[in-house]
Amino acid sequence: MIRITNFARGARGLRLAWQCEEMGLAYETAFVGYPPPAEYLAKNPLGNVPFLEDEGGVAINESAAIMLFLANRYGPTPLLPRAPALNARVTQLTVYAEATFGAGANTLMVAHFGAPDAEKKNWSVRMQEEAAERSLAYLVNVLGGGAFLVGDDLTLADIAIATGLGMYKGALGKELPQQLVDWRAKLAERPAYQRAAQRTQG
Ligand SMILES: N[C@@H](CCC(=O)N[C@@H](CS)C(=O)NCC(=O)O)C(=O)O
């Protein structure tokens, strides 16, 4: 069975549980603290979360890669449409959620929680704050007043970006543009989201 290891209430693990709920996939959750214990490091030498294990020797990191893996292994699914233009845009935004937005948010979180006072607003932090603002403007434009980022249905792009913004807002206390606030609030009404949020509490 699919097993998702996560921090309690970790936004990136929520991504995976939400996707499983939307796809009707059975999964179990496990939780680690920080620093992770030796038995977790033996399975996942990177020591980070989320981490996914599945039948057939599957054991991988990177939440966006895991989302695409699950859609490919257990699809077809409307979460990853097959039509080339939609598939390309969903793939782009799902990877963007981590490779650009999430990576920048990690820099901000590490500085916010761990840097000495003199470094909390250093050049890298200021650059990433500006990059995050550009991302928010870009996402407002992609959403364009619609209910979903791509096409007329929920996709991996919505799940990946909405959870990434939750982490940015929750961990850093940042404000989001109203269009993104409203879009996230609507997504949070979905029963699949609510079940996933409950199961990733820890
Ligand atoms: N790019 C990695 C980032 C992994 C990562 O940084 N995970 C942890 C730290 S070990 C994290 O930020 N957790 C907070 C959260 O998910 O809310 C991924 O998408 O899986």
Residue 102 shares a structural domain with residue 17: no
- Beta strand 2-6 with 51-54: parallel, antiparallel or unpaired? antiparallel
Residue 88 shares a structural domain with residue 7: no
Residue 48's domain comprises: 2-76
The pocket around ligand 1, CB under 6 angstroms, is made up of: 7, 10-12, 48-50, 61-64, 98, 102, 106, 167
- Residue 57 in any domain: the answer is yes
| Number of helices followed by number of strands (H, E) in the chain | 9, 4
Q: Say how many Å lie between the CA of residue 170 and the centre of ligand 1.
A: 14
Q: Taking Cα atoms as reference points, which of 162, 138, 151 lies closest to residue 89?
A: 151
- Residue 67 in any domain: the answer is yes
- Residue 200 in any domain: the answer is no
Q: Say how many Å lie between the CA of residue 31 and the centre of ligand 1.
A: 13
- Residue 52 in any domain: the answer is yes
56: left (phi over 0), alpha (psi -120 to 50) or beta: left
- Residue 143 in any domain: the answer is yes
Whose CA is closest to atom 7 on ligand 1? 49
Whose CA is closest to atom 12 on ligand 1? 106
Q: Specify the ligand 1 atom closest to the Cα of 47.
A: 10
* pTM of the predicted protein model: 0.97
CA 42 vs CA 46, 47, 63, 99: distances in Å: 9, 9, 19, 26
- Residue 160 in any domain: the answer is yes
Q: 6, 9, 48: which to mutate for ligand 1, most atoms within 8 A of CB?
A: 48
15: left (phi over 0), alpha (psi -120 to 50) or beta: alpha
pLDDT in tens, the chain (202 residues): 999 999 999 999 999 999 999 999 999 999 999 999 999 999 999 999 999 999 999 999 999 999 999 999 999 999 999 999 999 999 999 999 999 999 999 999 999 999 999 999 999 999 999 999 999 999 999 999 999 999 999 999 999 999 999 999 999 999 999 999 999 999 999 999 999 999 999 8
Q: Say how many Å lie between the CA of residue 96 and the centre of ligand 1.
A: 14
Number of domains in the chain: 2
pLDDT in tens, 109-138: 999 999 999 999 999 999 999 999 999 999
pLDDT at 202: 86
Residue 100 shares a structural domain with residue 185: yes
pLDDT at 27: 98
